Amino acid sequence: MGQVVATTAKPRRALPGAIATGHFDQSVFFEGLANPTRLAAVRLLAEVDEMGVTELARLCNASQPRMSWHLRILRQAHVITSRRDGREILCRLNREAIGRHLGEFLQTVQLPQDTHQQLKRSLESLQVIRRK
């Protein structure tokens, strides 16, 4: 009888690569955005102060458990924050962190300083618009 060699398959990761490692860098931020459903959620959250998971799931045409999974990835990527209000979880964009990550990326690709200033003004104007 021959020997049976057991091979172990790579375990499936519940989270995208860099997010699953538990450390944070620019790749985690961009990996968090690298999905059409998550981008749709970000676009929806950009239009409001905050929105519940149930409403986001409905608007993104996703089940509530799947939407929660996507939102967990966005939270770990520092794209959104969330808070509990009774039984509902409310989410909002983490505009400060998004601005910081985009600024770091601009420095990485060494864009001219005036581009940094334009982006900073744009982000500041978005924050002012959302506060009104």
pLDDT grade for 85, boundaries at 50, 70 and 90: very high
Q: What pLDDT sits at residue 129?
A: 46
- In this prediction the pTM is 0.71
Q: What pLDDT sits at residue 84?
A: 95
110 forms bridges with which residues in the sheet?
Answer: none
89 forms bridges with which residues in the sheet?
Answer: 84
User: Is 68's pLDDT higher than 50?
Assistant: yes
Q: Which long-range contacts (CB under 8 A, 24 or more apart) does 111-117 make?
A: none
Residue indicated by tokens 């009888």:
1
Q: CA–CA separation, 132 vs 120, rounded Å? A: 19
Q: What pLDDT sits at residue 118?
A: 75
Residue indicated by tokens 């999905």:
35
Main-chain phi, psi angles of 74, to 5 degrees: -65, -35
Please state, rounded to an integer, the average pLDDT across all residues of the chain.
80
**Domain map (residue ranges) of the chain:** 17-131
**94, 129 in Cβ contact below 8 A?**
no
**65, 19 in Cβ contact below 8 A?**
no
Q: What pLDDT sits at residue 64?
A: 94
pLDDT (tens digit per residue) in 38-63: 999 999 999 999 999 999 999 999 99
The dihedral through the CA atoms of 8, 73, 90, 55 has a sign that is negative
Q: CA–CA separation, 58 vs 3, rounded Å? A: 53
Q: In this structure, what token pair is assigned to residue 126?
A: 């978005």
Q: Just give the CATH number of 17-131.
A: 1.10.10.10
